[in-house]
Amino acid sequence: MAATIDYDALLAPDLPPPAPRWNGFAPYNFIGGNVDAASMPVEDMIAATASALRREGATLATYGLESGPLGYRPLREFVAAKLRKRSGLTVSPDNVLITSGSNQALDLVNEMFLRPGDTVLVEQFSYGGALARLRKLGGRPVGIPLDDDGMRMDLLGEKLAALASEGVKPKFIYVIPTIQNPGGSIMPEARRAELLELSAQYGVPVFEDECYADLLWTGERPPAIAAMDESNRVIHCGSFSKTIAPALRVGYIVAEPALVARMVACKTDGGTGALEEHFGTAAEFVPPAGGIFLWISLPDAVDAMKLSAASAASGIAINPGPEWSADAEPARSRIRLCFGNPTVGDIREGVKKLAEICHREFGIPLRSGNIERA
Ligand SMILES: Cc1ncc(COP(=O)(O)O)c(C=O)c1O
């Protein structure tokens, strides 16, 4: 009989643990960045795909669709036009690199700049996927506290000065300025200008992630930080995951040509109201100005990691705050709920059950379920 191969003996020693087998989404799924299935423009996508395939399907025969390694040129032109119209950012399609979701943009930037031990300044509460990616490469995410206007520039300045006095130069400052994830804040223009000043003062670039900027419901949208940059201080990325569909895996990154050339060289792929009803005043959150998430503070007695584990056992998937935070402790009692994809009925039912579990585990909210509105 042929001997079997002992793959465990061959695997590299520093691999992450194996991913658990996927058993479908939790019945009450408040995690991930999934969007509303009923809003998927299915017929329009079919028509657009059919027309694009008819027009230039033959280019699928070549890696890069005869548009080169930056990606499909008409899409880069579309992105450049969208950025000009919506973000105030004027770029040439030649400075736009199409990526497999904006996560690939994060990967490329990390790959280009990070080596183990390198410091990256991040919003104290930030996108868990970005934090995980930084840590995977041995990077050291250092959190800067936020207020209702996003990352606090006074504290960023203090941190940059303190690091400089220790001889530490952060590789970049990663920010989600427009509909911050998970907090939902929008950084005002004046604060964006302060960020650019600090970037210039300390010679540390800004990596601006505008994943949700096209999902703004109210108010004026400030220009992208990259649009206010008169030098080469900002790397900008965005995504079609939240405005069209996450499974499309289409994102983009914009930077100065020399940096885009470096990225291309690294790119080797070929080309929420149910809450008040059930939690009463126990759940505090700032209503977001857009996006698909609620970033919720629960009383100190609640351990979000334990709440997440207990709710998962009842089919309720939530993001525990520590996984969305540069330091676990400040987010110990916070949770992030995505309301983009569950139906209104599932949101009501799931949040009711979540409140019951929270009450069972931590005695909070004081009465589980059916708390009367004040
Ligand atoms: C802030 C932020 N950036 C990037 C991403 C990655 O999105 P995608 O790779 O689907 O474009 C996400 C996903 O939720 C996100 O929240």
pLDDT of residue 368: 40
CB 218 within 8 A of CB 185: no
Q: What is the CATH number of domain 25-38+272-362?
A: 3.90.1150.10
Q: Where are the domain boundaries for CATH 3.90.1150.10 in the chain?
A: 25-38+272-362
Give the pTM: 0.87
**Among the atoms of ligand 1, which is closest to the Cα of residue 251?**
11
> How far, in Å, CA of 151 to CA of 247, rounded?
30
Q: Kindly report, as residue ranges, where domains of CATH 3.40.640.10 are found in the chain.
A: 70-266
Which atom of ligand 1 is nearest the CA belonging to 246?
A: 10
- Does the CA dihedral 229-231-235-236 come out positive or negative? positive
Task: Choose the CATH number for 70-266 among 3.90.1300.10, 3.40.640.10, 3.40.50.300, 3.30.1490.20.
Answer: 3.40.640.10
pLDDT at position 131, please? 97
Sign of CA dihedral 134, 140, 143, 144: negative
Under 8 Å CB-to-CB from 78, ≥6 apart: which residues? none
Distance 33 CA to ligand 1 centre (A): 7
Q: Does 239 sit in the ligand 1 pocket, CB within 6 Å?
A: yes
pLDDT mean for each 10 residues of the chain (374 residues): 86 88 91 90 92 89 84 94 96 95 97 97 97 95 97 98 98 97 96 98 98 86 96 96 92 95 89 67 81 89 94 92 92 92 87 90 68 33
Q: Please give the pLDDT value at position 275.
A: 65
Name the residue of 100, 127, 174, 337 whose CB sits within 8 Å of the most ligand 1 atoms, as the mutation to test its pocket.
127
The minimum-distance atom of ligand 1 relative to the CA of 250 is: 11
Ligand 1 pocket, 127 CB below 6 A?
yes
